[in-house]
Structure 1
């Protein structure tokens, strides 16, 4: 399958100190089959210098296609993704956190099943493969695996990492799905909804994971885990649109 352009959606909240680093990594990636990159940054009303950091980067890197949007109020990661998805013009869309937990050098690993004509959606799993993974929180890992297990029960999939950031979608397919979750409920919601699309082909590939601690700026907490359970049941068990 020929892909002309990849849209990279970056939801950002108070990432002024690191966003240039992730943009450098994205800039350095040469995508397979001469695929072009479109970077869409959605600033969820940051209170730090994120906006200025992006403006400075754009001014110094004029050859990169970077589009910037800012919410007037803090609405949540899911809301930022909704904005980015609506603005995407690439053939395919991938989600990229503004921190440094995920490595853009692995975009091609996710693109290969698409380009070979095998997949419509590709998830990057932190729990498979031999790539490096930072060792962090036991209960956080158990929580992720349990949420994936519950999600698989509702969707009849056999994913290993439902909560992963790296999800690659056909853009038109993604834009056709009505998304509601404003915060971290995006992950279980989109998973349950794509699982119900007839003849959808979902693949997983192993990715590395350079996790952050809460001192480093990690934002997800136990309340988001509770919300994820609610979303799995809402969009899976009760098939809520």
Structure 2
């Protein structure tokens, strides 16, 4: 396991001035606390972070990601942000684990993921939204079935977790359950949360499908599911904690995206 970077004020971790042995002991204890003691040290994880107008959360989510005790690279795609996000990302461009990719205009989450997928170098690819709804401390749950050789793809479900789950938006819940059920009917899967934004893939899976991906907005979630299901990849689910935010806090998905999801379910059942 590669040690966390030193000398970066954004990385967090134990107090400065500790010895190498103290640093390693801290990392080992953290790995055990997060349940990833069995993660092989030579596995590189590519964490993909699509970002659009997340000035309030971008520093915190990147701090949490870089603090996570996994060997990682972080690919941030700034999708044409027009608030203070771009300014804050400037401070991360010198971080040894972070690469910032730029879209000159807003193109959507799907487009941002395609840009990042073309650049990943890791053995496993994790999708991490920048809005703090999903916590990087859940990486252990996403990674372990892949590391154990049981899964090719792992979805972090908000509906099978025993951990904290913010209570919000009844009609969002109804729409999600309906979309998930319809998607399952077309893919012959039994997922509980097709719209989850916390997913992990073996890199070979991403390489196999990235040239076929078409969706620019949130329809990418349905498209990814349809394409991994159609190719027969082993898909697992694991429960993750979820800290949903309100529209006042910056939530972006809406009714139009629900309609697009329904269209994508039908489209990618019959087209690749």
Query: For 1:219 and 1:97, how far apart are their aligned partners in 2?
Result: 12
- Residue of structure 2 in register with 1:219 after alignment: 252
Deviates more, 1:173-182 or 1:158-167: 173-182
Give the gaps of 5 or more residues in structure 1: none
TM-score normalised per structure 1: 0.93
For 1:115 and 1:45, how far apart are their aligned partners in 2?
Answer: 35
- For residues 73 and 66 of structure 2, the distance between their equivalents in structure 1, rounded to whole angstroms, comes to 10
Within 5 Å, which residues of 2 pair with 1:75-90?
A: 75-90=107-122
Structure 2 unpaired stretches of 5+: 1-38
Query: What is the Cα-based RMSD across aligned positions, in Å?
Result: 1.2
Corresponding position: 1:10 with 2:49: yes
> Aligned equivalents of 2:143 and 2:198: distance in 1?
11
Q: Is the 2:195–2:221 Cα contact (8 Å) retained in structure 1? A: yes
Moved over 6 A (4+): none
Instruction: Please say if 1:207 is aligned against 2:240.
Output: yes
SS of 1:87's equivalent in the other structure is coil
Per the alignment, in what secondary structure is the counterpart of residue 40 of structure 1? strand
Q: Is the 2:177–2:193 Cα contact (8 Å) retained in structure 1?
A: yes
Q: Specify the alignment match of 2:137 in structure 1.
A: 105
SS of match in other structure, 1:176 = helix
Distance 1:128 1:10 in 2: 24
> 1:17 Cα deviation (Å)?
2.1
Larger radius of gyration: 2
Cα distance in 2 between the residues matched to 1:119 and 1:152: 18
Higher relative contact order (Cα pairs below 8 Å, separated by 6+ residues):
1
TM-score (norm: length of structure 2):
0.82
1:144-184 per-position Cα deviation (integer Å, ceiling 9, x unaligned) = 11100000000000000000001100112212211000000
Q: Give the CA deviation at 1:74.
A: 1.1
Q: Is the 8 A contact 2:146 2:202 kept in 1?
A: no
Deviations 1:173-205 (A, max 9, x none): 21221100000000001101100113x211000
2:219 to 179, 185, 196: 185
Provide the residue aligned with 1:25 in structure 2: 64
CA distance, structure 2, for counterparts of residue 192 and residue 148 of structure 1 = 12
2-side partners of 1:24 and 1:149: how far apart? 36
Task: Give the one of 126, 133, 147 matched to 1:115.
Answer: 147
Instruction: Report the alpha carbon displacement of residue 129 of structure 1 after superposing the two structures with TM.
Output: 2.3
SS in 2 for 1:69: strand
How many aligned residue pairs are there? 231
